[in-house]
Amino acid sequence: MIELIQISSIDTFIELARKFPGVLGLSSLSALKDLATAAPAAAKAGCNCSARAKKANDLAVYRPMFEAAMAMLSPDEKESFKSILNVKKVCYFIKDNKGQIKKHCF
């Protein structure tokens, strides 16, 4: 069992969802299913940096949806999420109403 997984971006979440599709079966995260399946695959090392930056900007518009979905996870869904990923702790980042990025873990 892994100690911690940190979801630092939408792209990281998409990679996890592709590797562990069961997370998209959680009802609170089902709204992200189309995003995870339609988004382009992660950029490979050594690729064009401007293409990588464009992809990050394109995915950034989904940040509020991702944050809302993660905030809606019930205690049971949080446990299921950790079980699917086989981790003890999941952390992700969310912007507060002042625009500050805060780390949340469960």
In this prediction, residue 83 carries a pLDDT of 97
What six digits make up the tokens of 96?
A: 């507060």
Tell the residue number behind the tokens 């950029």, with chain if given: 43
Q: Supply the pLDDT for residue 90.
A: 97
pLDDT at 97: 87
What confidence score (pLDDT) does residue 61 get?
84
Do 84 and 78 form a contact (C-beta atoms < 8 A)? no
Q: What is the pLDDT, as a whole number, of residue 46?
A: 56
Torsion of CA 8, 13, 19, 24, to 10 degrees: 150
Residues of the chain with pLDDT under 50: none
The separation between CA 33 and the C-alpha centre of its own chain, rounded to angstroms, equals 11
Given this model, what pLDDT does residue 50 score? 55
Give me 50's structure tokens.
Answer: 């401007």
The pTM assigned to this predicted structure is 0.78
Which pLDDT score, from 0 to 100, does residue 41 have? Answer: 57
pLDDT of res. 55: 55
